[in-house]
């Protein structure tokens, strides 16, 4: 890959990264070893006997290259690999190391500020306590700020394939940590799970002062109606941002609404090219950008997508959308603008 000094140097804001999506096979192996846990293939139950074997199975991208991952069965295998990986996270030190590993990476890419997703339900269901999870995150966050000058906050996502009641229980439990959390999101398997199912908890979060967002359509197979609900209904007034949602270009009315409301979209090119035709991905990003919709390029789950971080996502967006330096700068500024940082922090970034 050729180097791109402009992209390397530009101060970055990352608004779409899942901390669990940064769990590389190497970290997974390390945590499993020190917690004396056998690592099993989530579907077959076979125990991995080496890091190399684990690495092989981990790359769901490679497995689906050329054979697009756009049916429910294959999407399951991503979620199985992904949520299966949570099992190795046991101690506060594991959570600290996971987050610190990301912050160090972020610092090397000149990320100055990030809003990081986490999925508490995926952790409580393996028996981890809030204190272990949030305690580890908190320590890493403080160290990252002090030593790396990477500022961060968290977005708590609900698993949309779990019940609205579970989301509400987790919301209430998280209030003890609300000083760490800027916003509420929605992720995991979107099949048959429209955002309005979670209206009650989003409305409550909105009333309590949280910002809100939701994942929409990571792969072109879900209704634009999910985007419309996110834009117009979620939290009663509609969300503050949309995560993904490239298929909105099929619906000019909803696209217009996004523009009129000034909502930003977080866009992660490396996530889409495993689901949908390569050229179409970049055409659609370009259409949104040219329509004047704010876009923040993000990385989603770098450890599951051939090690592609925000830097690699910016490179591929630049190459195939043909973004000029000026347009890359506009993307960087829009990301700052779309962020939920205070005005003071925003001023310091760019
Ligand atoms: N899709 C939906 N939810 C997710 C993903 C994804 O790719 N990664 C982490 N949560
Ligand atoms: Zn995501």
Question: Which long-range contacts link 201-205 to residues 24+ away (Cβ below 8 Å)?
Answer: 201/158, 201/164, 201/167, 201/168, 201/171, 202/234, 202/235, 202/239, 203/235, 203/236, 204/168, 204/171, 205/171, 205/235
Task: Determine the atom of ligand 1 nearest the C-alpha atom of 190.
Answer: 2
**pLDDT tens-digit series, residues 253-274:** 999 999 999 999 999 999 999 8
Cα 292 to ligand 1 centroid, rounded to whole Å? 26
- What are the average pLDDT values for consecutive 10-residue runs of the chain, which has 350 residues? 91 98 96 93 85 80 43 66 93 98 98 98 98 98 98 98 98 98 97 97 98 87 94 97 96 97 98 92 98 98 94 98 98 98 93
Pocket test for ligand 1, best of 301, 305, 313 (most atoms within 8 A of CB): 301
What's the per-residue H, E or C state across 305-334?
CCCCCHHHHHHHHHHHHCCCHHHHHHHHHH
Identify which ligand lies nearest to the alpha carbon of 301.
1
- Which protein residue has the closest C-alpha to ligand 1 atom 3? 188
Cα 215 to ligand 1 centroid, rounded to whole Å? 8
Q: Residues lining ligand 1, CB < 6 A?
A: 18, 21, 187-188, 215, 218, 271, 300-301
Percent of the chain with pLDDT over 70: 94
**pLDDT tens-digit series, residues 166-178:** 999 999 999 999 9
Domains of the chain, each with CATH number or no CATH: 5-24+92-349 (3.20.20.140)
What's residue 65's pLDDT? 38
Identify which ligand lies nearest to the alpha carbon of 268.
2
ipTM associated with this complex: 0.94
What's residue 46's pLDDT? 85
Burial class (CB in 10 A: 0-12, 13-18, 19+), 309: buried
Identify which ligand lies nearest to the alpha carbon of 243.
2
Task: Determine the atom of ligand 1 nearest the C-alpha atom of 78.
Answer: 7
DSSP 8-state class, residue 145? I
What's residue 55's pLDDT? 86
- Which protein residue has the closest C-alpha to ligand 1 atom 5? 188
What's residue 148's pLDDT? 98
């Amino acid at each position: 890959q050729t180097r791109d000094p402009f992209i390397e140097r530009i101060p970055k804001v990352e608004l779409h990264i899942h901390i669990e999506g940064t769990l590389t096979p190497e970290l997974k192996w390390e945590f499993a070893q020190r917690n004396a846990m056998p690592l099993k293939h989530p579907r077959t139950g076979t125990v991995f006997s080496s890091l190399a074997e684990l690495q092989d199975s981990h790359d769901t991208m490679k497995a689906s290259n050329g054979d697009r991952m756009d049916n429910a069965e294959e999407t399951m295998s991503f979620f199985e690999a992904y949520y299966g990986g949570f099992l190795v996270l046991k101690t506060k030190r594991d959570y600290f190391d996971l987050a610190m590993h990301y912050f160090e990476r972020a610092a090397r890419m000149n990320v100055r500020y990030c809003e990081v997703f986490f999925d508490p339900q995926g952790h409580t269901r393996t028996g981890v306590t809030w204190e272990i999870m949030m305690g580890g995150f908190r320590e890493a966050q403080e160290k990252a700020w002090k030593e790396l000058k990477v500022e961060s906050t968290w977005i708590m996502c609900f698993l949309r394939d779990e019940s609205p009641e579970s989301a509400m229980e987790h919301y209430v439990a998280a209030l003890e940590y609300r000083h760490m959390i800027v916003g509420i999101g929605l992720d995991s398997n979107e099949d048959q799970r429209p955002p309005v199912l979670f209206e009650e908890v989003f409305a409550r979060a909105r009333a309590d002062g949280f910002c809100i967002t939701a994942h929409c359509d990571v792969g072109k197979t879900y209704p634009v109606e999910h985007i419309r609900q996110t834009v117009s209904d979620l939290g009663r007034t509609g969300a503050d941002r949309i995560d993904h949602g490239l298929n909105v270009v099929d619906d000019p009315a909803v696209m217009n609404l996004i523009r009129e409301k000034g909502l930003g979209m977080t866009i992660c090119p490396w996530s889409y090219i495993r689901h949908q035709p390569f050229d179409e991905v970049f055409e659609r990003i370009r259409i949104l950008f040219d329509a004047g919709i704010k876009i923040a390029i993000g990385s989603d789950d770098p450890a599951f997508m051939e090690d592609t971080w925000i830097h690699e996502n910016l490179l591929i967006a630049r190459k195939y959308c043909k973004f000029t330096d000026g347009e890359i700068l506009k993307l960087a500024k829009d990301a700052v603008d779309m962020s939920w940082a205070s005005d003071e922090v925003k001023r310091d970034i760019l």
